[in-house]
Amino acid sequence: MAKPTKKSATAKPVTRPASKKAALASARKAAAPAPAKAKATAIAGKVGSKASAKADARADAQAAKREAKAEQARAAAHAPTAAVTDEAGLGWTEAEKGYFLTLDGGKLAAKNPAGKRLTSVPKELKDGEVADQLEALRDWLADHDRECIATVDQWMLRSLAVPRSVLEAVWDDPAWRRPLENAVIVAVRADGSHDPATAGLFRGVDRTKGVGVVDLDGETVWLDTERVAIPHPILVPELDAWRELVTQLGVSQGISQLHRETHAKPEGLTATSIDQFEDGKFAMLMHAVGKARALGFKVSGGFATCKVWDGGGVSEARFWIGADSPEAETLTGELSWVDDRERGLKLSEVGPVAFSEGMRMASSIYAARVVEKLEEAA
């Protein structure tokens, strides 16, 4: 089986019946807080452009707010209205024949015209328009949750500067708040650099007070800053102390930041690759490929790859897993990095985030290798 030399290192949408399409479109407009809906597409593009100019950030925020108001008006015209709210806070929407429907824990529930909750939803209600709208809304909200988590995760992986106006716009949406709350953030200076002295657990944002954080002393502090960043954990000073603080406070993070596996780059590296994860055996190449993809990594040309934005530049970690027949046995090879033009990088040229993420990728795949058990001598 072939393994590359060092030089080679450079080298589901849901299908719905036609009758539900209109319901899906209507339900999407009825989704949770309209400001966050309007931002879901705009924010990633705005933050991805570095948001370096305050004027541009303000202009983008104003445009997004105008779109949010328009979206809110459209949603009001098409949203199913909760006619009754019970003592548990569930909103019940009037359906066919005087019945009421709601979503409870993501599942449809029904009440009869007399207000008695039914043990099951009658078939004619399940096939009705209101049920279609509620189920479509449930699916959209699940997608929205995943999109918010993925977006905040990208902000963290790239340590991007996020305008305060963006946080103000999305904070009331639970889908955005979950991945944002308790993330370690820092203020971003006018020149784009991070101010580590301002680090704290993100607890909220106020138009007049600023950005609220809890510092390492457990004190609440309001930061007067126009932009913040969620730094990659390898860039967080006193990482262990922050981990201890969240444990003491009994809070959790909605993204993998403080408890993300990190690998600090040793000083004085002169090599061009890492051989620590070589010779990991997989019974079949498809097992290694499947593991890499299950972990969220792309596979191309025999390598599992991980693209990373680090220090304003882009690099890609490449871990050899094999390029033979999918059913053939394979052994893992070297871990190396290339720049955005696919030129090999020395380890000394690899940034701290790119190094850590590449090592994390290789170690995660290598951990799934076949481990031979040594038999004791008779």
Count of the separate structural domains present in the chain: 3
Name the band, by pLDDT with cuts 50, 70 and 90, for residue 5.
very low
What phi, psi does 358 have (nearest 5°)? -65, -45
The angle that helices 129-158 and 34-48 make with each other, rounded to 10 degrees, is 30
Average pLDDT along the chain: 83
pLDDT of residue 35: 46
Mark out the alpha helices in 83-238 (DSSP H runs): 123-126, 129-158, 164-170, 174-180
Q: Which residue has the higher pLDDT, 375 or 140?
A: 140
> Which has the closest alpha carbon to 148: 126, 125, 172, 164?
172
User: Distance between CA 345 and CA 348 in Å, rounded?
Assistant: 8
Instruction: Let me know whether 24 and 115 are in one domain.
Output: yes
Q: Which helix (H) or strand (E) is 111 found in, with range?
A: strand 107-111
Average pLDDT over residues 308-337: 95
Average pLDDT over residues 9-26: 42
Instruction: Let me know whether 294 and 326 are in one domain.
Output: yes
DSSP letters for 173-193:
SHHHHHHHTT-EEEEE-TTS-
Name the band, by pLDDT with cuts 50, 70 and 90, for residue 308.
very high
User: Distance between CA 209 and CA 206 in Å, rounded?
Assistant: 5
pLDDT in tens, 50-102: 444 455 555 555 555 555 444 444 444 445 555 677 777 788 888 988 899 99
pTM of the model as a whole: 0.73
Residue 348 lies in a domain: yes
Place of tokens 């339900």: 27
For the chain, percent of residues with pLDDT exceeding 90: 65
Structure tokens at 208: 């007049």
Instruction: Let me know whether 177 and 85 are in one domain.
Output: no
Q: Are strands 220-223 and 210-214 parallel, antiparallel or unpaired?
A: antiparallel
Instruction: Let me know whether 177 and 105 are in one domain.
Output: no
pLDDT in tens, 324-336: 999 999 999 999 9
Boundaries of domain holding 329: 263-366
Distance of CA 365 to the CA centre of its chain: 20
Residue 10 lies in a domain: no
DSSP letters for 14-56:
PP--GGGHHHHHHHHHT-S-HHHHHHHHHHHHHHHTT---HHH
Which of 237, 272, 291 delimits the end of a domain?
A: 237
Which of 237, 272, 289 delimits the end of a domain?
A: 237
pLDDT of residue 12: 41
| DSSP type of residue 332 | -
User: Distance between CA 98 and CA 95 in Å, rounded?
Assistant: 6
Q: 351-373 as b/e, with b when 16 or more CB fall inside 10 Å?
A: bbbbbbbbbbbbebbbebbeeee
Instruction: Let me know whether 91 and 144 are in one domain.
Output: yes
Residue 354 lies in a domain: yes
Instruction: Let me know whether 176 and 59 are in one domain.
Output: no
Identity of residue 148: C
Residue 129 lies in a domain: yes
Residue 296 lies in a domain: yes
